[in-house]
Amino acid sequence: MRLSLFTIPLILFTYSLSAQIAGEIQGRVLYGTEALPNATVSVKNKSVTSITDSTGSFSIKNLAKGRYAIYVTMIGYEPFQQGVEVKDGEIKAITIALQPSQASLNEVVVSGTLKPVQRLQSPIAVEVFTPQFFSKNPSPSIFESLQMVNGVRPQINCSVCNTGDIHINGLEGPYTMVTIDGMPIVSSLSSVYGLFGIPSQLIEKVEIIKGPASGLYGSEAIGGLINIITKDPQKAPLLSVNAMTTSWLEHNIDIGVKAKVGKATSLLGINYFHYGQKLDNNGDNFTDVTLQHRVSVFNKWNFPRRHNRVATLAGRYFYEDRWGGDMRWNKSFRGGDSLYGESIYTSRWELIGNYQLPVKERLFFSFSATSHHQNSYYGTTPYLADQRIGFGQLTWHKELGARHSSLAGLAGRYNYYDDNSTATRDTLLKTNQPERFFIPGLFLQDEWILNEKHRLLFGIRFDHHPVHKIITTPRVAYKWSLKDKQVLRLNAGTGFRVVNLFTEDHAALTGSRAVEIRGELKPERSYNLNLNYTKQFSSRSRIFSLDASAWYTYFGNQIVANYDLDPNKIIYQNLQGHSLSRGVSLNLDFNFRQRLKGSAGLTLQDVALVNKVDGKEIKQRPVLSENISGTWAITYTLPMAGLTFDYTGNIYGPMRLPLISNLDPRREYSPVWSIQNIQVTKWLSGKVEIFGGVKNLFNWTPAKSNPFLIARSHDPFDKGVEYGSDGSVKQTATNPYKLTFDPSYVYAPNQGIRAFVGVKYKMDK
């Protein structure tokens, strides 16, 4: 009887346990399609924790029926929280997508001081952007992608061939140096066409410095630096593919392949882009968008060495065939005066290397070599050019005690340039004189840690130009670490630039305006002051980061293309006065519970030319510069559904535009304009995701606010233009506005609304 009384409750208790079978949560932690090992997955308010394995997988067992809050953390990524409902005996499968901490100040940057340093500790303000940021509005080139960065604007310079450059803080493209892995690649002749075709699958991140970087990088870094950092082959996925097409029949594909060859690791990237549809939505009988066919092949090698010393070698080949013009044009009309077209064949190769010397000291030799050939016709005007640049740099990183970190470097740059224009022709001897020069440079830098809160950096560079002799560019930077993750930076420095008009200014080759160079052009000089403040504040479920900057740049000897003095000419000369660029910018990054996150930026700037006329200073805004601009990128994620929604856009204030005559009916200033985009991404698995959306959502184009864009597109060879005895254009019945053919009136893309769809695939093993 006693046994029965004991047995019955035991049986009932055992039955109740069996009725409540323990559940389990299994899942993977990913960054995009990349598995994240060593992430911590815990159940909130319970002492249950799991660590993800090499595939990003985890498992939490023995869970009773109920709802649980899963909390995921990993260094360098924003914390993630998700509610999960578990039923009796259920194995719940989930996928958790982490994002890099947008407000993180612990990213490693190299562009500011030529050595790896945490962004929080860098005395130079460096902005960092990942491919994931640019993928919120996918584009076929880094040129277009940069429109998402506050204070940076891709500028279209020609309505016909759609070439462009990058403006930073209102300064034109030639003032910005673009480097790949710190080596000067995209400059001078290639500044117009070389920004296209860099395979996105090979980009690790993009670092941007706003303000002079000539103290480390020499000429052309007078207004800013864009450093494209490629992936380490050893850390890259085995295979990655990104393919996209649009309703305008633009086709783009990026492929990345990693391979082990002996002990070395190779990363091969291929980019192919094709657009072959003639469209004329604005009715001027000219193509709205240039037809393009290009291929780019990039190969980077990493060679293992003793003591983890660095040895990398990379090469790229780029070919492009692009043309725009009369809708009836084909290549049989190239160079003729029957139908107008602008046709450009570009062929270039690049070689980049970095080698750490086998000595105890930290000595690095880096080099680059480029060859750029251009065969082009702008109507009947041929432009045949060759440029070859060789660059070598030896740097020595030295720690001088606990408080001093020094950098010394020797650099040399050889430049060869030849074309069929007057730029390389001796008009007296009537012989061709290619430009050849070698610029050696020496730079020194010392970073002094005053204490835990204060750092001071001094730097100076000496370059010797064969014509302009020694050019000195000093710089100083101060960083003050305040409380509560606040940092204040003050940078001051100078910059210089040696100019070649025909390689940098596309307007010198197109249209019917004559080019006039007045006086001997001296190198431009700039003096810059930049104040930067950053603050990060966060809680368990939300993160904010604030970045504010104010800058002032003064230019002496600036070379300006004057369109106003004579409507029939473009006059180049050193400014008889000075110019300036000043303004403030504000960036805000935010993240709410890993669901709603994004960034927004605003820039207010004043860019002006101050010329002396009869002893008086006259201030004028240069063409194609805006006083206000803004950008935004907002993302909403549904991790359980594997869906991400992106809303991106930019807005620009009025810009002064180049009119041809006092009767020109086109607007002198552009309207406020904005291009906005939406995208939806669906993760099908850890390897595959598909995406699609709409670009230029409100179908805005510059033609909507003007009677026409290209002046006299019906008479591109000015056969119907009459001139007076003084050479000025006469007003006639067939030319009531006194115009000549001119495609330089352009400030925004002509492409209207279009849908896009694409797929990404990544294989890690």
- The one-letter amino acid code at 487 reads V
Residue 458 reports pLDDT greater than 90: yes
For residue 38, pLDDT beyond 90: no
Mean pLDDT, residues 281-304 taken together: 93
Q: Collect all residues with Cβ–Cβ distance below 8 Å to 498 and sequence separation of at least 6.
A: 219, 465, 468, 523
Query: Strand pairing partners for 128?
Result: 207
Q: What is the mean pLDDT of residues 305-323?
A: 93
625-639: average pLDDT: 92
CA dist 56 and 31 (Å) reads 10
Highest mean pLDDT among 157-161, 390-394, 514-518: 390-394
438-453 as b/e: b if 16+ CB within 10 A: ebebebebbbebeeee
Q: What is the pLDDT of residue 15?
A: 45
pLDDT in tens, 658-673: 898 889 999 999 999 9
335 within 8 A of 298, measured Cβ to Cβ: no
| Res. 110 pLDDT band, cuts 50 70 90 | confident
What number is the average pLDDT over the span 344-367?
94
> What are the start and end residues of each CATH 2.40.170.20 domain in the chain?
229-763
Residue 77 confidence (pLDDT): 72
Is 50 exceeded by the pLDDT of residue 16?
Answer: no
Give span(s): CATH 2.170.130.10, the chain: 108-228
Residues 6 or more apart whose Cβ sits within 8 Å of residue 160? 286, 287, 290, 324, 325, 340, 341, 342, 510, 710, 743
Q: Which of 163-172, 374-383, 468-477, 509-518 has the lowest mean pLDDT?
A: 509-518
Span(s) in the chain for CATH 2.60.40.10? 14-97
Q: Quick one: pLDDT at residue 421?
A: 73
The pLDDT value given to residue 32: 67
Q: Name 544's Cβ contacts closer than 8 Å, sequence gap at least 6.
A: 103, 536, 537, 538, 588, 589, 590, 591
**Lowest-confidence pick of 504-513, 607-616, 720-729:** 504-513
pLDDT value at position 20?
57
What does the buried/exposed string (b/e) look like for 421-433 if buried means 16 or more CB atoms within 10 Å of the residue's CB? bebbbeeeeeeee
Question: Is the pLDDT reported for residue 510 higher than 60?
Answer: no
pTM summary value = 0.83
Average pLDDT over residues 369-385: 91
Predicted confidence (pLDDT) at residue 141 exceeds the cutoff of 60: yes
Residue indicated by tokens 């995208």: 679
* Angle at alpha carbon of residue 527, lines to 521 and 530, rounded to 5°: 145
Answer yes or no: is pLDDT of 295 > 90: yes
Q: What are phi and psi of 686, to 5 degrees?
A: -70, -10
The CATH class, in words, for 108-228 is mainly beta
CATH superfamily of 14-97: Immunoglobulins (2.60.40.10)
| Minimum mean pLDDT range among 163-167, 462-466, 508-512 | 508-512
Predicted pLDDT at 1: 46
Q: Answer yes or no: are the C-beta atoms of 712 and 718 closer than 8 Å.
A: yes
Predicted confidence band at 720 (pLDDT cuts at 50, 70, 90)? very high
Q: How much is the pLDDT for 13?
A: 45
Whether residue 467 is predicted with pLDDT greater than 70 in this model: the reply is yes
pLDDT surpasses 60 at 171: yes
Residue 17 pLDDT grade (very low, low, confident, very high; cuts 50, 70, 90)? very low
pLDDT exceeds cutoff 60 at 589: yes
CATH architecture observed for domain 229-763: Beta Barrel (2.40)
Q: How many whole angstroms separate alpha carbon 93 and alpha carbon 124?
A: 45
Q: What is the pLDDT of residue 755?
A: 98
Mean pLDDT of the chain: 84
The pLDDT assigned to 631 comes to 97
pLDDT band at 367 (very low <50, low <70, confident <90, very high): very high
Q: What is the mean pLDDT of residues 111-118?
A: 79
Res 103 pLDDT > 70: no
The whole-number pLDDT of residue 515 equals: 62
